[in-house]
Amino acid sequence: MEYFTLSNGNKMPMAGIGVFMMSPAEAEAAVESAIKSGVRLIDTANGYMNESGTGRGIKKSGVAREEIFLVTKLWPTVYEKETAIDETLARLGTDYIDLLFLHQPTDNWREGYRNIEKAYKEGKVKAIGLSNFPEDLLKEAIETMDIKPHVVQVEAHPYFPQTELKAFLAETGMGLMAWYPLGHGDKNLINEPVFAKLAGKYGKTNAQIILRWHVQSGNVVFPGSRNPEHIRDNFDIFDFALTGEEMAEVGKVNKGVRYYNGTPEMLAQYAKMELGPDL
């Protein structure tokens, strides 16, 4: 395993599993399988409504909680709720979160951030992150909050490598977690000739080449899968390395294409959308 060192000295695994769009039972099974396969980074969220299942999967794995880097996100409707973090801890069945994000940049994000800062000072949260935040709000957080954010989570993949954002993050010491690391499963991306060529050279799949490119670019990846074999494959990217020339070749794939755009109208809806049951 390779690690990214956060600005506070904590180390985060460069690859793990995400449980977006999984039921609690599916998340439980996927997390247990992933941890038993060697995965130590788990990413969930209030909004996925499967934190309880994620917590059960961690416990069923038999691996000590201290060995797991657990990531979750507060949903906008609970940013100002004083008990939101304690309720999140209860669903996950843990007394601390390794990295806690604000999920979306809605109007009340500043109050939510202050609540996370309080939990950070109390030891309930070990690192603070901002998910889907634009650069201007990242700068505001850095300049105005007591504790600078440690990680940003955004869409990133070879078709949209976040080049400008990464240059900014390099100046701040913030890490990048890449969601949709495989381009939301876009076959056009996965089947780009450069990935097929490199897969043949290294005896890997096209997806493994893409995930390896992420890691060597400094991106933390957490692809989701319910299939134990796919989970193992997604994690099997640490026994080879792309050359500098090959990394540059992959860089030419950039098309400026992203698969998600959070409009102001959509963010306004998020600010009002109540969470469903998490069983």
**Catalytic residue IDs:** 48
Spatial neighbors of 254 by CB under 8 A, at least 6 apart, are 158, 159, 160, 161, 163
Query: What is the SS3 assignment for 133?
Result: coil
The answer to whether 30 touches 58, Cβ cutoff 8 Å, is no
Residue 23 to residue 26: CA distance in whole angstroms: 5
CA pseudo-torsion sign 269, 271, 272, 275: positive
Tokens found for residue 120: 């950070």
Amino acid at the residue 97 = I
The answer to whether 187 touches 157, Cβ cutoff 8 Å, is no
Q: What is the DSSP letter of 148?
A: -
The answer to whether 99 touches 127, Cβ cutoff 8 Å, is yes
CA-closest candidate to residue 47, choices 17, 27, 32, 65: 27
Tokens found for residue 264: 């102001």
